[in-house]
């Protein structure tokens, strides 16, 4: 599903530098990424999604060389193939929860907003425990509720790859287990792969394997 080779990335300013000789995730795998803050875990997700472009190296997702696509092609690929749960949610505060969940379908012709999609959006919201909040504005939600709305939006298109950046970071223990179970069920039911950045070390035993970003730092030294 994901194959990265000889990846190098740095921001225009600052001293941050990411160097990954090799990184791979197999189809259907549930992989957790851990490591200290500032090591590049979120940057890695952004590179895989085509939000950032590497200085050099290759990033293949589903046999697509993401780094070779132009801006428009990367955006199209991301919308139609990747469900991204952002750390800061990326909800639109002026929209209600329901419209936020449906938003990917309203910004591209590649996704068709049908009655079954709307029904699935309501089903996901119910499973996430926010089914009674669909008409509330996003800025009226708690942090945990905003997180759950963002996860619903990522799951709605039934993506083949889910990238989750601290998807359980704002949730209480009970909801952490429920949300993780829902993400795992999406992997099992919809031919999906999950790559999740997390600091919830107590959840790591639920994943197929864990990648520690400190290993990449050691490789540089």
Per-residue pLDDT tens digits for 131-168 = 999 999 988 988 888 888 988 999 999 999 999 988 77
Report pLDDT digits (tens) over 9-23: 988 887 888 899 999
Q: Token pair of 54, please?
A: 């590497």
Q: In this structure, are residues 46 and 77 in contact, taking their beta carbons and an 8 Å threshold?
A: no
| pLDDT score at 108 | 84
Instruction: Go through the domains of the chain in sequence order and give each one's CATH number.
Output: 2-220 (3.40.50.300)
| Model pTM above 0.95 | no
The stretches in the chain having pLDDT less than 70 are: 170, 217-221
Hey, which bits of the chain come out as E strands?
Answer: 2-10, 17-25, 30-34, 56-61, 64-65, 82-85, 161-165, 193-197, 209-212
Q: Do residues 153 and 104 lie in contact, with contact meaning Cβ atoms separated by under 8 Å?
A: yes
């Amino acid at each position: 599903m994901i194959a990265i080779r000889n990846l190098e990335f740095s921001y225009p300013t600052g001293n941050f530098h990411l160097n990954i000789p090799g990184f791979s995730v197999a189809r259907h795998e549930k992989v957790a990424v851990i490591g200290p803050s500032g090591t590049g875990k979120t940057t890695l997700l952004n590179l895989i999604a085509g939000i950032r472009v590497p200085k050099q190296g290759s990033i293949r997702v589903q046999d697509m060389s993401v780094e070779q696509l132009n801006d428009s092609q990367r955006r199209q690929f991301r919308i139609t193939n990747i469900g991204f749960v952002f750390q800061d949610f990326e909800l639109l505060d002026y929209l209600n929860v329901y419209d936020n969940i449906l938003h990917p379908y309203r910004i591209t012709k590649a996704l068709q907003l049908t009655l079954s999609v709307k029904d699935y959006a309501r089903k996901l919201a119910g499973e996430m425990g926010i089914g009674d909040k669909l008409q509330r504005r996003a800025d009226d939600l708690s942090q945990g509720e905003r997180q759950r709305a963002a996860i619903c939006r990522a799951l709605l298109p039934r993506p083949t790859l889910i990238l989750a950046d601290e998807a359980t970071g704002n949730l209480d223990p009970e909801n952490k287990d429920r949300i993780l179970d829902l993400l795992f069920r999406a992997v099992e039911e919809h031919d999906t792969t999950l790559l999740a950045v997390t600091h919830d070390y107590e959840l790591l035993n639920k994943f197929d394997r864990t990648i520690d970003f400190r290993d990449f730092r050691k490789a540089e030294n």
